[in-house]
Structure 1
């Protein structure tokens, strides 16, 4: 079959699926913004395209987000038409619609089967809008309208996709029922054969400090250090945590930018805002045990997980991070917020420990329980790894399910989904 992938940052979620299909002998290509010149990656032909057009002036604020998606959709449409003119006709199109690129693909290739990656449908409920009281909405009734507009892209894709895939039950549950009827819940997959416990691992913090399993290491990892992932709660727990655990080394991984949610005040970063808030309650000696590693290469990230004695993870009701599953696969005891996305991965007292998202004291208490009880830590770490292997293993669970999903998609009549 001819299979076309659409992802602005390819391979993204198709890191394993696309090469696997190419290895089966399918002709695989990817339209992406990530490369500037045609190339081949693990058997997949990479086809670059660029975004054409400029944003309009004076556009209504609620339409700005959709306009960016429209510009990408039009640009991808033109690139797809060029491929069509060159004689390429995909049997299957696999796309991430989150940035809008796949909006008009049905118009280019009406006979192609289209599978979409449904990541999240924005919720406009009061509980979601007011989840974090620290960031009150100035006009929540208007936010409901704004989020409805933000979902235009999702709604337009309802008539594009034949089948959908979503990585977690929580993420699939955010979509309306007419979407859920076509969504298969299949995680992207974690290579549990690579992400394993390693008693000999070391992590070099700086030229003067190297940490190993002999040290008491507490980890906190996100793409960016920001409130959506509970950075503010973790920082507020830090003074007490350092006092309770005088030998602990705390390593935080993440950038200074914003992946999700509101931006910090102009000229500031969420990272520094919460450092400034708690620094006066932490002695210089204790602060020397706090290490901001920034963004690090994957091999260093794995080494860090392998030396961690307690991994703390928080999130708003939102997309679940790969890093949480990777920490479980590495056998690290997990201390996590009791928000909805976590509850399908973490069972309190079995595969980890849960605490109320905003309760910094409870965070400290749960971390200390794990660090003070090696047998508990060992049991949690082993159970977490076993759950990761049984539920999220790439080679034995997730990739086979993804390939079955592709086979099911190939057997469908295109554009014939009914409700």
Structure 2
């Protein structure tokens, strides 16, 4: 079959599925903003498309989000039309609609079967909104709810586009109302549990030349970007007491300075620095020397970080669940996580980890310290967490076969029509 992938940052969530389909003998092509020139990747042809106009100018502020997505959708439509005119006809299209690119694909190829990767339907009710009062500073909360609802225009436009859909977790799938939810299969992207596995002999090299091993007391915290949506502020505020109570601990923090979700920091600042500045005066120089901001690190180094971790802290608003949580579980780390809805699929308190109230920094410190003082319970949590991931999220035995079966179901669909 001819299979076309659409993702603004390809391969993104399709990094395992796309190569697997290419290896199976399918002719796989991708359209993406990530490359500037046509290239080959794992048996696929990856083609660029370019955005040719600005977004958001002279647009109602509630429609800026949709405007940027239509701009991308137009660019992708034009690139798709060129592909069609050059003779390429996909049997299947697999797209991430989150940035709008796939909006008009049904118009270009009405006979294609289209599968969509749905991440989130935006809800304007608690706890999806107003979860964290500290950052809920909108002067008109009722109007802000309307703006959030309008972010679903992109989802609604895609409803007649997709024949089938998938979401990585039940929490994410269940944010969608019935017309969407009925088409969604819950299939995670998958964790390579053979690669991300416990390693008692792991060595993690620090920039100052120090080498950490499983014999060291290492606490890890990982975000794509360090921001409130992922509890960075709660974790940072826990550090003064945590460092004081654990004089031998090293705290390793991974994440960038940008914003993936939620509001940006006040002008000219970063959330990372804002909360460093807030807590730094409460921490001695000697203790602060044990806090290491690693930025974004290569994947092999990231795996070693998880393997050396004694306790891994993961906090999140009620939102998309991070791959890093399941990777930490696969590596056998003992998990302390927030008691928020997405975590209820992954953490069974007292077996695969422990949950604390998102806002309760004192409880967070208590649980981390209790685990650090209890190697038997720590080992039991880590082993159970790894077993859970292998049973439910293993790439080769669970997720990739489910994804391939989903492709087969998609291929067997009768393609829809715009407006049906």
| TM-score class normalised by the smaller sequence | over 0.9
Unaligned runs of 5+ in 1: none
Q: Which residue matches 1:246?
A: 247
Q: Which residue matches 1:33?
A: 33
Q: Which residue matches 1:63?
A: 63
In 2, distance between residues paired with 1:416 and 1:382? Answer: 49
Q: Which residue matches 1:12?
A: 12
In 2, distance between residues paired with 1:417 and 1:189? Answer: 32
Q: Does 1:101 align with 2:101?
A: yes
Q: Which residue matches 2:336?
A: 335
1:56-95 to structure 2, matched below 5 A, reads 57-95=57-95
Q: Which residue matches 2:411?
A: 410
* TM-score, normalised by the number of residues in structure 1: 0.98
Preserved CA contact (<8 Å) 1:97 1:116? yes
What SS is found at the alignment partner of 1:18?
helix
In 1, distance between residues paired with 2:70 and 2:176? Answer: 21
In 1, distance between residues paired with 2:255 and 2:135? Answer: 21
In 1, distance between residues paired with 2:58 and 2:3? Answer: 40
How far residue 273 of structure 1 moved from its aligned partner, in angstroms, is 0.6
Q: Does 1:209 align with 2:210?
A: yes
1:12-411 to structure 2, matched below 5 A, reads 12-55=12-55, 57-136=57-136, 137-411=138-412
What SS is found at the alignment partner of 1:73?
helix
What SS is found at the alignment partner of 2:350?
coil
In 1, distance between residues paired with 2:108 and 2:150? Answer: 26
Deviations along 1:397-417, whole A, 9 cap, x unmatched? Answer: 000000000000000100179
In 1, distance between residues paired with 2:363 and 2:215? Answer: 26
Preserved CA contact (<8 Å) 1:334 1:352? yes
How far residue 268 of structure 1 moved from its aligned partner, in angstroms, is 0.8
Deviations along 1:294-343, whole A, 9 cap, x unmatched? Answer: 11111111111111000000000111000000000000000000000111
Unaligned runs of 5+ in 2: none
Preserved CA contact (<8 Å) 1:229 1:315? yes
Runs of at least 4 residues of structure 1 off by over 3 A? 416-419
What SS is found at the alignment partner of 1:116?
strand
Superposed CA RMSD: 1.3
How far residue 363 of structure 1 moved from its aligned partner, in angstroms, is 0.3
Q: Which 10-residue stretch deviates more, 305-314 or 58-67?
A: 58-67
CA distance change for structure 1 residues 355 and 405 in 2, over 3 Å: closer, same or farther? same
How far residue 264 of structure 1 moved from its aligned partner, in angstroms, is 0.6
Preserved CA contact (<8 Å) 2:371 2:378? yes
CA distance change for structure 1 residues 295 and 56 in 2, over 3 Å: closer, same or farther? closer
Preserved CA contact (<8 Å) 1:162 1:416? no
In 1, distance between residues paired with 2:217 and 2:299? Answer: 22
* TM-score, normalised by the number of residues in structure 2: 0.98
What SS is found at the alignment partner of 1:128?
coil
